[in-house]
Amino acid sequence: MNTNEVMDIYDKYFLNTYGRQPIVIDHAHGIKVYDIEGNEYLDFFAGIAVNNVGQTNHKIVSAIQNQAEKLIHCSNIYYNVPAGELAEKLANISDFNKVFFSNSGAEANEAAIKLARKYTGKGEIITALNSFHGRTMLTITATGQDKFSKPFKPVPPGFIYVPFNDIKAMEDAIGDDTCAIMLEIVQGEGGVNVINKEYIKAVEKLCRDNNILLIIDEVQTGIGRCGSLFAYQQYGIKPDIMSLAKGLGGGFPIGATLATDKVSEGFEPGDHGSTFGGNPLACAAANAVIEVIEEEDLIENSKKMGQYAKDKLNSLKEQYEFIVDVRGLGLLIGIEQWWRYC
């Protein structure tokens, strides 16, 4: 098949949900991606912050191959070794103690919200304008951008939105039924807006003073993307719940919701579940990702290359009027262009 033939099939059989580039990806290695016509590309998008350890990394590939030959899936009625190993690893490298595995970022946030409500017995979640938390009915409502939820009303109640990096607005939004504040450290889909340090520290204090949980959505910022394993670690805060997905499986779908020992007491058997969540294949891939990040010193690389890219982009900004701003943290970098050139 050539590119046009594949595109015709998509037009004919796919629900119309994506605006795609006219490129049919065939194979990839490291940062390089090749289409079916043989063209080579550098993938700065990284599968939307998924391929943090590069494409077809041999360690990830062989972890998946070996596990697939042994056991691809078993239900959560039983135990499996890769999931156990991954849970222990995640607890060791973060400030959290317990984990729930799912298959995507939206699901990781769903679990975070359910846990927060069950633990506190309260309903209202405060999120930021221009945030992005997923595409399920609950997470489009958590997302502070009207365009994602408006066509799908009625959406579930229980969310209020405040401007990002505005502590006064956050203070004013807190009420008797506030259960949690849910934020990204860098708003990815919302335009690469980096959280400010005094702000997130003050939000953490507000949470402690008012018995509100702090949920950090690290679906995009986590797994080394921002120059630390998790972006919150650069801010001297200790959230109560963190959601992960995107980069965690090195391209294999997996989501995770992490919580402190205390907050994890909110859940008891029967409260939440997933058929595929924590399956051995996904967990074997994620275990390999964490090992590769350590062995190849990718955190240091993310810091270094992120700074290099930002410096170079900033010097382009001096030369080109259409670049309004260069923002980001580590290797999550955005260029804002002047609207006239969009």
Ligand X SMILES: *Cc1c(COP(=O)(O)O)cnc(C)c1O
**189 binding ligand X? (CB under 6 A):** yes
Q: 3-state class of 169 per DSSP?
A: helix
**294 binding ligand X? (CB under 6 A):** no
**133 binding ligand X? (CB under 6 A):** yes
- Residue 313: Cβ within 10 Å count: 17
Select which of 148, 217, 230, 267 is catalytic: 217
Q: Are 151 and 183 in contact (CB under 8 A)?
A: no
227 CB-side CA count, 13 A = 18
Q: Verify cis geometry, omega within 30 degrees of 0, for the bond prior to 151.
A: no
How would you list the strands of the sheet with 241-244, edge to edge?
A: 98-102, 255-259, 241-244, 213-217, 178-183, 124-128, 159-162
Query: Out of 33, 180, 245, 282, which residue is the one contacting ligand X (CB under 6 A)?
Result: 245
Query: Would you call 20 exposed, middle or buried from its count of C-beta atoms within 10 A (0-12, 13-18, 19+)?
Result: exposed
322 CB-side CA count, 13 A = 5
Query: Out of 53, 99, 115, 134, which residue is the one contacting ligand X (CB under 6 A)?
Result: 134
**303 binding ligand X? (CB under 6 A):** no
Query: Out of 104, 165, 193, 264, which residue is the one contacting ligand X (CB under 6 A)?
Result: 104
For residue 157 the two structure tokens come to 């109640």
Q: Which of 131, 117, 97, 312 is nearest to 220 (CA)?
A: 131
Region of 128-136, 169-177, 205-213, 323-331 interacting with ligand X (CB under 6 A): 128-136
Minimum distance, C-beta of residue 253 to ligand X, in the bound complex (Å): 8
Is residue 132 flagged as an active site residue?
A: yes
Is residue 217 flagged as an active site residue?
A: yes
Region of 12-20, 82-90, 105-113, 298-306 interacting with ligand X (CB under 6 A): 105-113
Is residue 230 flagged as an active site residue?
A: no
Region of 54-62, 75-83, 104-112, 302-310 interacting with ligand X (CB under 6 A): 104-112
Select which of 89, 98, 122, 246 is catalytic: 246
**178 binding ligand X? (CB under 6 A):** no
Q: Which residues bind ligand X (CB under 6 A)?
A: 104-106, 109, 132-134, 184, 188-189, 217, 219-220, 245-246
Report, as residue numbers or ranges, the catalytic residues. Answer: 132, 217, 246
